[in-house]
A and B are shown apart, each in its own frame.
Chain A
Amino acid sequence: MTHDRTDPAYARRFSPDAVRELEELVARYPQRKAAMLPALWIAQREYGGEITAEAMEEVAHRLGVPPVEVEGVASFYTMYNLKKRGRKHIEVCACLTCAVLDSASVIHALEQRLGIKAGETTADGEYSLSEAECLNWCEAGTVVQVGHRYYGNVTAEDVDRLLDDIAGDPRNDVVTHADTVVRVQLRGGCKGRPRPSAEVEADRG
């Protein structure tokens, strides 16, 4: 596909800074489409936390690939929001280890507390709740991701403190960049777990 990338019709929502950022990333690879994942992060940021059809089309044009290929990538990764999410997106791991450690009860407690089902968003647009595939911190199951932060060893009893912790903290807003996610231990520790009670933040990278 040979799309005229300078055509103003396609320069829709990416800010000049975002375009510069994307072009720097593209320059690292032999093919433009290799920058698909970071391009989608930029798109999610530029389009207000949601990858809309227009966002995918813009990424497709900027990388010179068919739009459906972008959708194929974006629909594979759960961290790309193809639907409008609440400002805080609570994702509870439902994969094997966390399931064995009763992640279902965490999901149930959050559903009760927020008054929504998994996969839904609260009416005020503040919280979204969903089940996630393995979040890659199995030794600390049940794992809950909220925005840029990972909470380990969460049980149903921790749900109130979890919601208190994320309220008003911008670090818990919808993820805008993959490599800034950090692991967090809820203050006060978790029942029955020999874990330090202090907050532990460390780069995942």
Chain B
Amino acid sequence: MSQVEFVNITIDGTTVQVPAGEMVIESARRVGIEIPHFCYHPRLTMEAGANCRMCLVEVSMPRKNPDGTLALARMPKPQTSCSLPAAEGMVIETETPMIVEARKGMLEFLLINHPLDCPICDRGGECPLQNNTMHYGAATTRFVEEKRHPPKAYPLSKYVIFDRERCIHCARCTRFASDISGDAQLDFLKRGADMEVSSFRDTEFTSLYSGNVIEVCPVGALLSRPYRFTARPWDLSTQKSICTECSNGCNIKLDHRAGKLLRVNARLNEEVNEEWTCDQGKFGMDYASHEKRLRRPLIRDGAVFREVSWDEALTHVATALSEAGPAAAFLGGARSSNEDLFVLRRLFQEVLGSQNMDHRLGPAYPSAADVRAALGSQSPTPIAAYERMTTIIVFGCDLAVELPILYLRVRKAAVRRGAKVIECQPSSYRERPHANKVTDFAHSSIWYEPGQETAIAEALAHVMTGGRDPGASDGASDAAASLPNAVAEANVEFGSAIPRLDDGPIAIIIGRDVWSRSLSVPATLKAAADKMGTPCVINTYACSVNEQGARELGILPDGSVQASAPGLNADQILHGLKDGTVKALWVSGVDIASQFHDPELVTQSLEQAPFVVVTALDLNRTATMADVVLPLASVAEYDGTYTSMERRVQRFHQAFDAGVDVREEWRIAANVGMRLGVDMPYASWRDIFGAIATSERAFAECTPDNLGDGGRLLADRNNEDSR
């Protein structure tokens, strides 16, 4: 790392050392001075920035007198502190009469076309424009002419409403679209008096990250369609939580009122999501307050369900499970918390003596033993570590859909840190209907047809292990010329030459579609990586919210060291239900009838199963075929932890009471266990988390109190004995 040079600058009388070149607006934050601003945003580039002119400060610089002494020379006009790099001896004043006057004037300009309809604006109460006007603005305006009146509620996308009247043209949303999500679908049109932000020809803003523009907008111009007119900010309560829509583990805030989840905003975590969310997470969590939520336990009574007490339902489940004993089985759990999974595992292993547990729903998943054999015990690459990678290979993965926040980090690594991204994708990827594709920033794109994955992996391995002319200085020689015959025969289209790969750390992301079918791709690349001199990690990331937790806690037929013999996997369990070898099934939190790779098999198995208990939020297809349905608490209604795909254990907090008679899954499992005579004395998530830390080596350094707001990475697997 290069040496950072520091300079001394004085801000309102306080002298502080800051890195040379840091923008003065940031330096002021270091001494506790917040300079009002609208367009400045630390994560957006300054291209098209410094346009709101709100952050003006007075600047003096030391200048040499003829006799050699130094004197301060004040710049004649105020400067924008968001674009003013700190320099040695600089003296900044933020509250002079000139600045007070300038801010008043700027706000008067910004409000010329702003409708000032704060009373009916969603943003009122949490609006930088409103706050700054109250604090720094003049009491009235001298502008008496007609304001502009563009359309008020223009539907920009499925999730975003655009109120053009309120826009102050700060370019934050356009810069988000071009700098961060990269789809660049927003820009200024008709520059001049009629300037407006728009998408191309008013087409739909199809970014998978469109919701972020609502959060970066410093006025009430970009609004959330689901949240619009549902609450005032001062009536909302906020709770820290974790997004459950994928395995990235984005830190979020749940805004709720009167027991109802109203909106999701990002919560800052530099290691994970920075301050972004994807639309899936921001707008997909409405299930927590869905009308169709289950309210009571249900027991099948002929063709219909009957609402029963928890006691009756739990006794019924306990009886059925104890009769099944080792012939009981468990499916799902990738959406349950670590605590849920730990107690469920105890119930099945210790109480029932069954290892028939599987959280995976795809076809022909490799066994845990095969995965360990092929990939060793490498820890996955953490999200933030991508910024340090020289090369990133994305293999058969629609990253923006499968792992949306990792997509933003990989893009940042490529665009801002100069990482070379190589993608090997099925040719159908080009036709995917969204705007956030790796192709836009990839160094090279290699397209293949289904079935050619192994050949492509072999070709990559060939290049990785030096199967090219080492004399080629920039490594841009035609790789196709030296590829093995398999690839030439596969008639693979190489988009462009593969760069040299041995000049720094490499992270390889393999899509679920590829690794869940066959380990040949990860195994081939792993073998090549082991021969390389540079560090190279093969990542087969988990995709569901706590799928990694299910891996860590061994919700797998052969995943547990305690089990003497492996149990049945998902396919075997479902077949076992048909032929009678599996006598009871617990389905946890997942609608397997819709999500299993073979829904037909699920329907047949559930119809013939002697006993099925389903835990669910609502009466999904699987639940309609169950004997007992137990209503679950949603993530907003209880406390616990998830393990994200980078093995980060993170806390989610209860936001509100469910208002209906639902329970956490760990409590349900413990209740059943106690009815079967095994003591599971857990009163809260803390008790269980403590037990996990005691029994699970990976969690050994975790305690309920050391997770913090940002979570904690599990102990590096390389330091463990083989699990």
Contact = CB atoms under 8 A, between A and B. Distances in A.
Interface of A: 1-2, 53, 56, 66-69, 71-72, 75-76
B320 to A, nearest CB: 58
B201 A71 contact: yes
B189 interface: yes
A2 B440 contact: yes
A15 B188 CA distance: 30
B200 A67 contact: yes
A2 B496 CA distance: 12
Nearest to A53: B201
Given A53-B201, A76-B190, A76-B192, A66 B184 contact: yes
B436 interface: no
B657 interface: no
B459 interface: no
Contacts of A76: 190-192
B189 A71 contact: yes
B192 A66 contact: no
Binding site secondary structure of chain A: helix
Contacts of A66: 178, 183-185, 187, 200
A56 B199 CA distance: 13
Nearest to B188: A72
B496 to A, nearest CB: 9
Given A2-B442, A53-B201, A56-B200, A68 B186 contact: yes
B377 interface: no
B79 interface: no
Nearest to A70: B200
Contacts of A71: 187, 189, 198, 200-201
Given A67-B201, A72-B189, A75-B190, 13 more contacts: A2-B441, A53-B201, A66-B184, A66-B185, A66-B187, A67-B200, A68-B189, A68-B199, A68-B200, A71-B200, A72-B191, A76-B190, A76-B191
A76 B199 CA distance: 15
Contacts of B188: 72
Nearest to B184: A66
Contact of B187 (A1, A2, A53, A68): A68
Given A68-B200, A71-B201, A76-B192, A1 B186 contact: no
A47 to B, nearest CB: 15
B439 interface: yes
B21 to A, nearest CB: 25
Given A53-B201, A56-B200, A68 B185 contact: yes
Binding site secondary structure of chain B: mixed
Nearest to A73: B191
Nearest to A76: B191
Contacts of B439: 2
5 contacts: A53-B200, A67-B200, A68-B187, A71-B201, A76-B190
Contacts of A2: 439-442, 445
A67 B202 CA distance: 11
A69 B184 contact: yes
Contacts of B198: 68, 71
Interface in B432-486: 439-442, 445
A66 B186 CA distance: 9
A1 B178 CA distance: 10
Nearest to B186: A68
Contacts of B184: 1, 66, 68-69
Interface of B: 178, 183-192, 198-201, 439-442, 445
B442 A75 contact: no
A66 B183 CA distance: 8
B20 to A, nearest CB: 28
B423 to A, nearest CB: 11
Contacts of B186: 68
A68 B191 CA distance: 13
Nearest to B443: A2
B381 to A, nearest CB: 24
Contacts of A69: 184, 187
Contacts of B183: 66
Contacts of A75: 189-191
A66 B190 CA distance: 16
A53 B202 CA distance: 11
A69 B175 CA distance: 12
Contacts of B440: 1-2
Nearest to B189: A75
B175 to A, nearest CB: 13
A53 B200 CA distance: 8
A8 B199 CA distance: 26
A68 B173 CA distance: 13
Interface hub of A66, A68, A69, A71 (most chain B Cβ within 10 A): A68
Contacts of B201: 53, 56, 67, 71
Nearest to A65: B184
Closest 8 CB pairs of A and B: A66-B184, A68-B200, A67-B200, A68-B187, A72-B187, A75-B189, A75-B190, A76-B191
A178 to B, nearest CB: 18
A75 B197 CA distance: 12
Contacts of A53: 200-201
Interface hub of A1, A2, A53, A56 (most chain B Cβ within 10 A): A2
Contacts of B192: 76
A32 B84 CA distance: 30
A76 B195 CA distance: 9
Nearest to B178: A66
B472 to A, nearest CB: 22
A64 to B, nearest CB: 10
Contacts of A68: 184-187, 189, 198-200
Contacts of A1: 184, 440
Interface hub of A53, A56, A67 (most chain B Cβ within 10 A): A67
Contacts of B445: 2
B195 to A, nearest CB: 9
A1 B185 CA distance: 12
A53 B189 CA distance: 14
A161 B716 CA distance: 87
A69 B184 CA distance: 8
A168 B442 CA distance: 53
Contacts of A56: 200-201
Nearest to A60: B200
A2 B442 CA distance: 8
Contacts of B199: 68
A188 to B, nearest CB: 37
A66 B185 CA distance: 7
A67 B186 CA distance: 10
B186 to A, nearest CB: 7
A71 B185 CA distance: 11
A56 B201 CA distance: 10
A76 B188 CA distance: 10
A67 B200 CA distance: 6
A67 B178 CA distance: 12
A56 B440 CA distance: 19
Contacts of A72: 187-189, 191
Nearest to A133: B192
A110 B697 CA distance: 87
Nearest to A57: B200
Nearest to B185: A68
Contacts of A67: 200-201
A1 B177 CA distance: 13
B488 to A, nearest CB: 22
A56 B189 CA distance: 13
A101 to B, nearest CB: 22
Contacts of B190: 75-76
A60 B185 CA distance: 12
A71 B197 CA distance: 11
A56 B184 CA distance: 15
A67 B188 CA distance: 12
A71 B200 CA distance: 7
A105 to B, nearest CB: 24
A167 B185 CA distance: 42
A1 B182 CA distance: 9
A68 B171 CA distance: 14
